[in-house]
């Protein structure tokens, strides 16, 4: 089974949904700690509504999100600190529970991890995906929405 990831930075909700549909995604796993956004269509309720209108499920997995101090480190370009904070957060019991849930759901249907950063190498969803690959043998494909959509 393939696990997808996607970042919505610079994209519209329509472009993200189009990329998800083209890949055959049936469930979006929102791995942001805070599912709110200044970008139109990406706060929890409007995102869920847009996805569900297109036949894609939505689940917010808060404990898989980057803690505030990690987001601050990322914005400041302190990547070593960022990755350390991400690793510590994912080692917590609550995160382990949500990782197991995400893995079981991804084995049942095509699922995609969503966060903000367009470049997955600068986003904690890479660490989440790596754990799911190790635990469940999933293949990973990092999607990029077409910004012109």
Q: What is the pLDDT of residues 83-122, one digit of tens each?
A: 999 999 999 999 999 999 999 999 999 999 999 999 999 9
pLDDT in tens, 3-29: 999 999 999 999 999 999 999 999 999
Average pLDDT (130-143) is 96
DSSP SS3 for 30: strand
Buried-state track 101-121, b at ≥16 Cβ within 10 A, e below 16: ebbebbeeebbbbbbbbbebe
State the pLDDT at residue 148. 61
pLDDT reported for residue 149: 53
Nearest Cα to Cα of residue 31 among 18, 21, 44: 44
How many Å apart are CA 24 and CA 93, to the nearest integer? 31
CA 35 – CA 42 distance, rounded (Å): 8
Q: Model confidence over 61-86: pLDDT tens digits?
A: 999 999 999 999 999 999 999 999 99
**pTM confidence score:** 0.95
């Amino acid at each position: 089974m393939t696990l997808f990831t996607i970042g919505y930075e610079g994209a519209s909700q329509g472009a993200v949904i189009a990329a998800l549909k083209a890949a055959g995604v049936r469930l979006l796993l929102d791995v942001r700690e805070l599912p709110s956004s200044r970008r139109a269509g990406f706060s929890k309720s409007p995102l869920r509504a847009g996805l569900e209108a297109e036949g894609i499920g939505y689940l917010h997995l808060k404990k898989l999100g980057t803690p505030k101090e990690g987001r601050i480190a990322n914005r400041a370009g302190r990547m070593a600190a960022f990755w350390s904070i991400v690793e510590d957060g994912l080692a917590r019991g609550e995160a382990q529970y949500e990782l197991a849930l995400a893995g079981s759901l991804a084995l049942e249907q095509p699922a995609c991890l969503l966060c903000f950063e367009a470049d997955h190498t600068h986003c904690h969803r890479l660490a989440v995906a790596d754990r799911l690959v190790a635990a469940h043998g999933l293949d990973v494909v990092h999607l990029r929405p077409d910004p012109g959509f």
